[in-house]
Amino acid sequence: MEPMLKGLKVLDLSRYISGPFAGMLLGDLGADVIKVEKAGRGDDTRGFVPKINGESVYTFAVNRSKRSVEVNFRTEAGQALLLDLVREADVLIENFRPGTMEKMGCGWDVLHKANPRLIMVSISGFGADGPYRDKPGFDAAIQAMSGLMSVTGDPDGAPMTHGVFTVDHVTAIYAALAILAAYIARERTGEGQLIELSLLECAATLLLCGIPNQAVLGETAQRVGNQDRYLSPGNCYKTADGGYILLIAGSQPHFTLLCEAMGQPGLLEDARFATQAARFEHRDEIDAAVGAWMLRHSTDEAQRILDAHGLVSSRVEDLADVVKNPQLHHRKKLLELQHPVMGKVMMMGMPYRFSGQEWRPERPCPVLGQHNREVLQEWLGLDEEQVERLRQERAITA
């Protein structure tokens, strides 16, 4: 079977992570995603380290399944070329600051008039209006404002950002979902629409109970380190050989199994630990008991015992372990893509599997302007003379 989104044409004008990752998600499913980049420079991340043979790993990681076209937006010919591409597109993704597209002569009103069926996704830090409209916003700053940092880290330590760009990634997933919803609606109505997303609003959806607890009960969530926020025992425990195991065993069935695994059934008779509510009230004491047991065992031994009892647990593995993870390899989720400059590079593939069809992304992140002529010929039907004229007019560089 053919990829599900084959025939969907996407213009990806975005930079960094949130927009590019959304475009990559669509490209992985078969959409023809054209990464439209600034002529001569490209996505700002192309200069980021680390690099392999001069190409940024950062850019590589979020721009798979795309083709690259350079457009000089500072020229009239470049802006006209973009409008020509828009007329052929189904979707346009951008994550400039609010007002930037309008300054380029490519605001929603202009694009919608040029192509009423266009679905445009506009991602910004804080939204297209409001008091923070013009404030620049990157992932870490949004984690700070959204409250995510305030609940991350040790109770006695400083607030911490997540170890990955959580907000950018969740925004990208929301963007891809919204695009597909708008595409389904367009199939019924024939009309495209503008979709607005802000990093702040997407980040706030990750707070789970935090907002209702604060608004209704007046309870401000605090940092709890690695302790589970709702169950106990649930924490990251050090083992005898210096490793760590994350264990969640707060429910009554799981705690019963844990007591069996530790050989300490008497814990169930202790009033402090007999019920889920009591354990949560005395979470430091139960953590101490579990922690003492962990320190008597090596990481491998403790994990073997916990697995034998069906408990929710995992050793804390680093990325050297992850690239060798037997489950990911068995499921064929770690891809090796052949890049024209970087060579063969491993990356994580699509996290889903469809019953009726199976395919793997095969197109690596493009080099800057790699598909200029190819895309202009396919999308716009331009011949070599017309493409050369665009190059002379400085609309494209090659």
232 vs 274: CA distance, rounded Å:
12
- Which DSSP state fits 115? -
What is the rounded (10 degree) CA torsion for 44, 47, 50, 52? 120
**Burial class of residue 72, CB neighbours in 10 A (0-12, 13-18, 19+):** buried
d(CA 8, CA 216): 45
The C-alpha atoms of residue 158 and residue 396 are separated, in whole angstroms, by 48
SS3 345: strand
**Residue 142, helix vs strand vs coil:** helix
* Cα gap 143→204, rounded to integer Å: 9
Query: For residue 317, how far is the Cα from the chain centroid?
Result: 20
At CA 199, angle to CA 197 and CA 201, rounded to 5?
Answer: 75
Q: Are 198 and 123 in contact (CB under 8 A)?
A: yes
Q: From the candidates 32, 139, 168, 287, which is the catalytic residue?
A: 168
The label of the residue with tokens 């695994």 reads: 261
Q: How many CA atoms lie within 13 A of 118 on its CB side?
A: 27
Encoded tokens for 258? 């844990």
* Three-class DSSP category at 51: strand
Residue 66 to residue 369: CA distance in whole angstroms: 11
Our answer to whether residue 270 is catalytic in this structure is no
HSE of 285, CA atoms in CB hemisphere, 13 A: 11
Active site residues: 168
